Structure 1
């Protein structure tokens, strides 16, 4: 009996994961507004009612995906990582998960609504605090001689994000400029190396 119960639990967890993977792909392709639970269910190969059963609907899926992305971000780079290690970590984490990155872009464009005003304010405060901490980290790296003192730390952070996300936000530009697949290892190395050269303090 316990074995049957355990197998049912594992089966339910596998179903939940399939639904979440399908939701990421559907939201990435169509945005929250354009995505439909029927499309997510079809991608996952499950009955549409299971989305409501496990997640309460489309908004519940989005909230769970946001939570998981926050967990991923927290583990990308160690607190004592060098600037080069941090850039490489964020670049790999972003480009290894293009659908997740597209979901972040949709959210930045305002297409991914919050479940309620309280959740929206909480996540907005979290994002502001995260960006403030990232700017302060840039300042610490400047004081440590890792980043050029000639660059505003806020601008350095913006440039780093823009370059890291460029294969997702401007794939055709990246392909035309570099002549290669925007997600290829060669492009990743060039973006990482050039960011280090652009923002680094080696030439100071």
Structure 2
């Protein structure tokens, strides 16, 4: 009769990492659907198929989960668009990032509405500084594209950036209007292509 081999430290580590990733995926879905205030660790655990106590063990609770998700989101955004990408390619990359991962986008919207708290004021200020820096870089990118003739110079660069953000996020922030206007699922590939093409035409060089 053979004896059952105890899991190695490596196997235990892999199991723990898989559990952590399931919890994080479930947290994105739960936060995206209900916001931070409405989400419950019991709901996250149920989505992940794990014991609720593991959330406290791995992340220290709901707040720790949110902080880890913020960190990952900032890392993802830093490499979302190639530095040499054209305006059209940049729009496509942002549409893919948002519409391929709608729960992440909903979490961003909840955060923008003030639903996702920070551990303390210092952490909130660090996040705000990062956001302002990212926005400043995006604005400078629009100005550069205007100087290069890639984006129309007929509109204020800040307004052009705001329009781009609004259109790209519209399937998440205004899904009912997108569906009523275009007659399709807001997350459908046809909507993605249509928003991309029309935004590039709208903000492209005058006369194009």
TM-score (norm 1): 0.97
After TM superposition, the structure 1 = structure 2 runs for residues 40-189 of structure 1, keeping only pairs within 5 Å, are: 40-189=44-193
* C-alpha displacement of 1:116: 1.2
Residue pair 2:154, 2:206 contacting (<8 A) in 1 also: no
**Post-superposition offset of 1:118:** 1.1
Q: 2: CA distance between counterparts of 1:72 and 1:182?
A: 23
Structure exhibiting the larger radius of gyration computed from Cα positions: 2
Match of residue 35 from structure 2: 31
TM-score by length of 2: 0.95
For residue 191 of structure 1, give the secondary structure of its aligned residue in structure 2. Answer: helix
Compute the displacement of 1:3 (Å).
Answer: 7.1
Q: Which runs of 5+ in 1 are unaligned?
A: none
Residues of 2 paired with 1:143 and 1:191: CA distance?
24
- The count of corresponding residues between Structure 1 and Structure 2 is 204
Partner of residue 199, structure 1: 203
Cα distance in structure 2, aligned partners of 1:184 and 1:29: 19
Contact 2:36–2:115 (8 Å) recurs in 1: yes
> Partners of 2:88 and 2:6 in 1: how far apart?
50
**1:95-146: CA deviation from partner (whole Å, max 9, x where unpaired):** 0000000000000000000111111000001101111111111000000110
Could you list the per-position Cα deviations for residues 165-185 of structure 1 after superposition, in whole angstroms to 9, with x for gaps in the alignment? 000011110000000111111
